[in-house]
């Protein structure tokens, strides 16, 4: 493994992160478990950053891809009719709840969000965009411009004029004593103030994640985005829901994360889990909004036949097996077991929604965010056979989001391992 690591470092960029003091190479997978090059097996509770939504070696997805490969057609581009693309678009348009919806397919969440920003700015004739503090929307020039986390912003240069809103910072000194209703009122008042003082008219859109992924699974109280949308509608500002990590029933309370807030956005973006590992992303938006671009458009690889075969099979599996209900049922099993960790000196917060969980690690005594302790828990969990992730504004939030196909035994095993790992690190830190 050291030889492969040396080769990686010689030819890959230094900013391309690798987990663990001794990075692992994944060589096999079945169900919700993975095997590395040394023969170690792991329960996977990060799912390739929430991408392997059904887990590994899923017969329905594999066979759909094999059928497409057998035709000899791997690629044609959107210049030709693609049956699988049309079929998938019909399903997503129906599931979106957006009136007269149309769908455009891309290759990733970054591309999807770029497209949504293009649609909104063209429709409104404005480069002004509202985004959320601590949000993350991709690594491209445009999506970095609406990312509210310094750790993921490489440049202050921007094609957009972005203003950031509150919504997931309940722990800030100004807000921590407030009830949910009081906090929502304060956030809405701030939105009105931003529109009145910091922007010109014709703001293009608000883009927001219902649950902030890279941000450490932080989330606003239910109803915040509904309150925001009332103000946005007064001004004609569009609302884009970034569902790259929250789509397809993962939050349990709705098929889309925004369902928690009781609103239908003008557009929503998706990617990650839809292809169960195959590259697919896209935007579903009101037909008039999608049709509003005036220049030519094409996507070379977006919605290609292989990705569409995988995505159709994946979405059918999610619906046929009601995996949203599985997330709703099993989420509390994990979260209720993790909540007592909040009493430890090294744990600042425990939160979750459906099959998305986060534990924030802090320094004992002072409570300062501790990315070092988060890394220690990551290592301790791996030694016990559990793969999880990290994130958060300060890099101290542990993140767990397994395939939606996990069962009761899987989540109890993972929960207990994570509790043991955090408890071990807490004892060592005192």
Q: Report the pLDDT averaged over residues 332-337.
A: 97
**Taking a C-beta distance cutoff of 8 angstroms, is the pair 359, 218 a contact?**
no
Is residue 16 over pLDDT 70?
yes
Residue 214 DSSP class: T
Q: From CA 182, how far away is CA 200, in angstroms rounded?
A: 28
* Residues 343 and 391 occupy one common structural domain: yes
pLDDT tier at 1 (50, 70, 90 boundaries)? low
3-state secondary structure of 41: strand
* Residues 351 and 406 occupy one common structural domain: yes
Hey, which residues does 29 pair with through a beta bridge?
Answer: 34
Q: From CA 407, how far away is CA 403, in angstroms rounded?
A: 10
Q: How confident is the prediction for the chain on average, in pLDDT?
A: 97
Residue labelled with tokens 């909104």 = 120
List, in order, residues 6 or more apart from 286 with CB less than 8 Å away. Answer: 98, 99, 100, 101, 102, 266, 267
Q: From CA 258, how far away is CA 241, in angstroms rounded?
A: 7
List, in order, residues 6 or more apart from 75 with CB less than 8 Å away. Answer: 301, 304, 305, 306
Domain CATH number, residue 130:
3.40.640.10
Beta strands in 77-169 (DSSP E): 101-106, 128-132, 161-165
Q: Report the pLDDT averaged over residues 325-353.
A: 97
pLDDT tier at 219 (50, 70, 90 boundaries)? very high
Domain range spanning residue 252?
63-320
* Residues 22 and 97 occupy one common structural domain: no
Strand 386-387 versus strand 41-44 pairing type:
parallel
List, in order, residues 6 or more apart from 198 with CB less than 8 Å away. Answer: 163
* Residues 113 and 251 occupy one common structural domain: yes
C-alpha torsion sign, points 401, 325, 330, 251 = positive
Q: From CA 145, how far away is CA 321, in angstroms rounded?
A: 38
Residue labelled with tokens 């949910």 = 180
pLDDT for 430:
77
* Residues 354 and 299 occupy one common structural domain: no
* Residues 72 and 166 occupy one common structural domain: yes
Number of domains the chain is built from? 2
**pLDDT tens digits, one per residue of 120-143:** 999 999 999 999 999 999 999 999
Residue 220 DSSP class: P
Q: Report the pLDDT averaged over residues 255-265.
A: 96
Closest residue by Cα to residue 101 from 90, 109, 114, 112: 90
* Residues 252 and 156 occupy one common structural domain: yes
Is residue 2 over pLDDT 90?
no
* Residues 305 and 288 occupy one common structural domain: yes
Domain CATH number, residue 32:
3.90.1150.10
Which DSSP helix (H) or strand (E) runs through 154?
none
Is residue 247 over pLDDT 90?
yes
* Residues 315 and 327 occupy one common structural domain: no
* Residues 271 and 418 occupy one common structural domain: no
* Residues 115 and 241 occupy one common structural domain: yes
**Taking a C-beta distance cutoff of 8 angstroms, is the pair 428, 405 a contact?**
no
**pLDDT tens digits, one per residue of 383-429:** 999 999 999 999 999 999 999 999 999 999 999 999 999 999 999 99
Hey, which residues does 350 pair with through a beta bridge?
Answer: 359
Last residue of a domain, one of 267, 293, 320: 320
């Amino acid at each position: 493994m050291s030889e492969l690591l040396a080769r990686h470092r010689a030819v890959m960029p230094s900013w391309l992160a690798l987990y663990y003091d001794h990075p692992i190479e994944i060589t096999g997978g079945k169900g919700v478990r993975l095997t590395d090059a040394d023969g170690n097996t792991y329960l996977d509770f990060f799912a390739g950053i929430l991408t392997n939504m059904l887990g590994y070696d899923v017969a329905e997805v594999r066979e759909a891809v094999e059928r497409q490969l057998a035709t000899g057609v791997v690629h044609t581009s959107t210049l030709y009719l693609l049956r699988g693309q049309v079929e998938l678009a019909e399903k997503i348009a129906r599931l979106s709840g957006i009136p007269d919806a149309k769908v455009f397919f891309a290759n990733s969440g970054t591309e999807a969000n770029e497209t949504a920003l293009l649609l909104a700015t063209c429709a409104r004739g404005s480069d002004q965009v509202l985004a959320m503090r601590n949000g993350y929307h991709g690594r491209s020039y445009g999506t970095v411009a609406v990312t509210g986390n310094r750790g993921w912003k490489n440049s202050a240069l921007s094609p957009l004029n972005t203003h950031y809103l509150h919504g997931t910072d309940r722990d800030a000194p100004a807000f921590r004593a407030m009830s949910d209703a009081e906090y929502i009122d304060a956030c809405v008042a701030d939105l009105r103030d931003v529109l009145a003082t910091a922007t010109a008219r014709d703001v293009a859109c608000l883009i927001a994640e219902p649950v902030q992924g890279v941000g450490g699974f932080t989330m606003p109280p239910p109803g915040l985005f509904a309150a925001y949308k009332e103000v946005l509608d007064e001004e004609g500002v569009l609302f884009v829901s970034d569902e790259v990590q929250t789509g397809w029933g993962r939050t349990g309370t709705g098929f889309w994360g925004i369902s928690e807030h009781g609103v239908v956005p003008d557009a929503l973006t998706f990617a990650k889990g839809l292809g169960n590992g195959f590259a697919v992303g896209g935007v579903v938006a009101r037909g008039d909004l999608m049709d509003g671009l005036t220049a030519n458009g094409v996507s070379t690889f977006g919605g290609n036949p292989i990705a569409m075969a995988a995505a159709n099979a994946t979405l059918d599996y999610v619906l046929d097996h009601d995996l949203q209900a599985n997330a709703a049922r099993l989420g509390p099993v994990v979260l209720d077991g993790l909540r007592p960790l909040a009493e430890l000196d090294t744990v600042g917060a425990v939160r979750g929604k459906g099959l998305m969980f986060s534990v924030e690690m802090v320094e004992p005594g002072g409570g300062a965010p501790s990315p070092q302790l988060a890394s220690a828990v990551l290592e301790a969990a791996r030694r016990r056979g559990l793969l999880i992730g990290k994130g958060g504004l300060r890099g101290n939030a542990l993140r767990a989001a397994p395939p939606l196909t996990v069962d009761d035994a899987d989540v109890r095993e993972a929960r207990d391992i994570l509790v043991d790992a955090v408890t071990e690190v807490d004892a060592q830190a005192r």
